[in-house]
Structure 1
Amino acid sequence: MVELISGQKSIFSVSQTETRSLATHFIMLTEDNRLSDIIDARVKEGCQNEEVISVANLAKRCLNLNGKNRPTMREVTSELERIIGLSQKELNIQENCKISKNTMDDASNDWDAVSTSITGDFDSGRTPSSHGEPLINIKTW
């Protein structure tokens, strides 16, 4: 998982003379609250911050030196499915909001079109009609 979210190999070069374990580097950065330093730019662009943090936390649990404290593969898949489910739910909410906004915008535009298309000679007390004749003759006393 760390390789996927970082875009780096499990052993990478820090300099020409030094190589480092990605797992160790990842743990050090997360403990220093510098997770963003290791996240691949494509992941930053394509995922929400909460998703990346959730996967990173899961990855960190998987790297625990004490095997008894690491999650089982079933727990890992369950957690990843939960993250994906939350992501899908968020996308559905965003899509519904876009649809609602577009519907409201369309209704507003339709109303604007109707309200601006009605014309008539209101100063004379006549109401508009399709033939230029008033629908009702209004007499004032």
Structure 2
Amino acid sequence: MRSAVALVALAVLAGCSKPPPYKLDMPMKEIMGHVVDPAADMIWTASGYEITEAGERELFPTTEEGWLAVENGATIVAESANLLMLPGRAVDDGEWMQLAARMADEAMVAKAAAVAKDKDKLFAAGGALYQSCVACHDKYIPK
């Protein structure tokens, strides 16, 4: 009986040492450049105002497709935070994880604003998302 228990325990421990089933070969710069940044731009370029010599122009979506694009961008940003927090990719277990979680939270606020087609909330959410990105960049991108 003891040997059977020992074999089960050994099998469990051996199973724990397997490498994760996901691939972590993509450099952080590429994740940011090909996934996070374009998705965040889907939020930022669709909120606020453009002021020129000709006057002020709203950037907010005017169609269902436009609002859906913002919702999609926000969803991508929120889920991308999980990519940043994967073991083996996360820079540390402290502030990195907190900032990635903050990015996800702010993106979900932007998503809710897009679903509600609420211009004011989208504008505020885009600003909050930007601030979360800047906080992370200030700490983790070498000058």
Confirm or deny a common fold (TM above 0.5). no
Which of 1 and 2 has higher RCO (CA within 8 Å, sep 6+)?
A: 2
Q: TM-score, normalised by structure 1?
A: 0.30
Q: TM-score, normalised by structure 2?
A: 0.29
Q: Which has the higher helix share?
A: 2
